[in-house]
Amino acid sequence: MKIALFPGSFDPITIAHVDILKRALPLFDKVIVGIGLNSAKQGFLSAAQRQNIVNAVFDEYKQVDIQLYEGLTVDFCRKIGAQFMIRGVRSVGDFEYEKAIAQINQTLMPEMETIILLSKPEYSAISSTIVRDILRYGGNVSAFLPAQALPFL
C-alpha cells in the first residue's frame, strides 16, 4: 500500500493546499494530512479548528485521513508508515526551501521520498500567511479558502 503524508500547519487550509492534495490522490492508496503542531508558535486557528476544517473539506474522500502531530515530520512518517511526503511549491523560493528540507529528510529517513507538485499559476500567490492577515483585519477570504472552511472561521 502506497501511503503519503501531506504535512503542514494548515492555518488555515487554502484552495491551493486543496488543489495539491486532490492532484496527488491518484498517486497513492492513502494520504494522511498531517497537521503539524509547533509548541513554539502560536497558531491563528486552534488545532481543533484546523482539524475540523480539514475534515470537512475532505469528508467525501475515503482515502484521506487527517491527524495532528508534533515533532519531526520524518518521525511521524515512520509512525504512520508513510513512504512518501507530498509538498507543494509556488515559487523558486519555495522550491529552494523544499529542496533543502527534502534532502535533510532523505538523510534522516532514506526510505522516504518527497514528491513535489507545482502550484497551478492561479494559486501561486495564495498563502496561509496572507490569508491569516486578511482574516485578522476582517477581510473577505472566501476567494482563497474552500467553501467548507468558511463556517469554522
Annotation marks residue 128 as catalytic: yes
Annotation marks residue 39 as catalytic: no
Catalytic residue among 9, 50, 87, 90: 90
User: What Å distances lie between residue 52 and 2, 93, 106, 110, 148, CA to CA?
Assistant: 25, 30, 31, 33, 10
Q: CA-CA distance, 115 to 70, in Å (whole number)?
A: 21
Annotation marks residue 90 as catalytic: yes
Catalytic residue among 9, 50, 119, 128: 128
Annotation marks residue 41 as catalytic: yes
Catalytic residue among 2, 41, 78, 79: 41
The terminus-to-terminus CA distance of the chain in angstroms comes to 36
Catalytic residue among 17, 50, 87, 119: 17
User: Active-site residues: which are they?
Assistant: 17, 41, 90, 128
